[in-house]
Amino acid sequence: MNLNGGVNLLALRSHNAALVLDLLRTADADGISRLELAERTGLTPQAVSKITARLRADGLVAEAGHRASTGGKPRTVLRLVPEAGHAVGVHLDRDELRAVLVDLTGAVVAERRAALDFGVGAEAVVRAVAREVGALTGVRSPGPLPRSLLGVGVALPGPLDHARGVLHRVTGFPEWDGFPLRDALAGRLGAPVVVDKDTNAAALGLAVAGERGSFAYLHLSTGLGAGLVIGGAVHRGARTGAGEFGHQVVRLDGPLCGCGNRGCVEVLCLDAVARGDLAEAARVLGVGAGNLVALLDVDVVLLGGRTVAAAPEAFVRGVAAVLQERARRGGEEPVPVRLASGEVAEGAAQLLLAPLFGRAEG
């Protein structure tokens, strides 16, 4: 795919431009007029005209026709140009890499998958990511990435330091502890890189896609974690430690977990899955979800990840049953449980896209 000739999108990040861009992003196919943009943003018509003129000059916005007016000449309607910019999202699971190229609306325009082994070491994983990003963008590594590319978002199991892009001890892979993944990738790719936990990236993607309020996204795959959105923004905590859901201890004398504790939700869940006892896996997941609901009083619990996707009804039904029983005992309304509509790689791309549209990511 030819991505050359695009505008430097990073230079456009201003609050007012972001407000306008976000409304253009969410407008229907008929577009939106400058007057409507002014009314919805609270900006003056003159300010909107200046912003949209700049966006049009940079190729991000185009005219989409005219709309009848209640008086005077017809209004010009504007639309976002999705192909004017792109971002790459990469999901590093413990055994698989999935990378997507998305346009400004978040729509996937290209995708790649590859087998992955965290145990081969950080440098080999960095090379694999660079290779897949190059294949998606049509650029051989090393080499400068297209100007229209905002950058690369990378999501992987935690814990990690989101602000510095440095990994902590990934459960089962202690050799990754302290590895500066963001800087290593940025140096190899020559492009901005943002690193976050897979659960946070997925939660951000869900929030941008329209999931409102406060919710917990529970991701069960080769591990178990949670992404938390509180009041519309991803909650990472003071040390990016929020959402280490899988390592809450629920059985003091339980089996040893890879984190060093015994009886964690993650090890109990994965052991039940390995035995083929999905009902027990869902029940354990529900117990952990119940603890989370009791602490945070979220609006909804969303389930995702490969293991859930393989048996969605069993997990939704099992987790919901636990939450319903707890709510019944407390005389409360149960928190609903649903399947998540998004995936991690798309959420990782939103680590770059969301700030462009003024979306708070925590």
Q: Measured between alpha carbons, how far is 126 from 190 in angstroms, rounded to an integer?
A: 13
- What is the bridge-based pairing of β-strands 149-156 and 337-339? unpaired
Please tell me which residue, 238 or 236, carries the higher pLDDT value. Answer: 236
- DSSP secondary structure code for residue 144 in this structure: P
Cβ neighbours for 309, distance < 8 A, ≥ 6 positions apart:
none
Give the predicted TM-score (pTM) of the model. Answer: 0.89
Q: For residue 237, what pLDDT band results from cuts at 50, 70 and 90?
A: confident
- What is the bridge-based pairing of β-strands 215-220 and 300-304? parallel
Question: Which residue in 360, 341, 344, 350 sits closest to 102, CA to CA?
Answer: 350
Q: Which domains occur in the chain, in start order?
A: 9-83 (1.10.10.10), 85-202 (3.30.420.40), 212-340 (3.30.420.40)
Q: For residue 6, what pLDDT band results from cuts at 50, 70 and 90?
A: very low
The predicted pLDDT at position 171 comes to 65
Q: Measured between alpha carbons, how far is 92 from 184 in angstroms, rounded to an integer?
A: 15
pLDDT-wise least confident of 72-76, 206-210, 262-266, 271-275? 72-76
149, β-bridge pairs: 86
227, β-bridge pairs: 217
- pLDDT beyond 90 at 139: no
- DSSP secondary structure code for residue 2 in this structure: -
Q: Measured between alpha carbons, how far is 279 from 273 in angstroms, rounded to an integer?
A: 9
Q: Measured between alpha carbons, how far is 355 from 17 in angstroms, rounded to an integer?
A: 11
Q: Where are the beta strands (DSSP E) in 163-293?
A: 166-167, 193-197, 215-220, 224-230, 233-234
- Average pLDDT along the chain: 89
What are 189's two structure tokens?
Answer: 């790719």
151-174 pLDDT, tens digit per residue, is 999 999 888 899 999 998 776 788
The predicted pLDDT at position 178 comes to 93
Cβ neighbours for 349, distance < 8 A, ≥ 6 positions apart:
87, 88, 89, 100, 102, 106, 153, 205
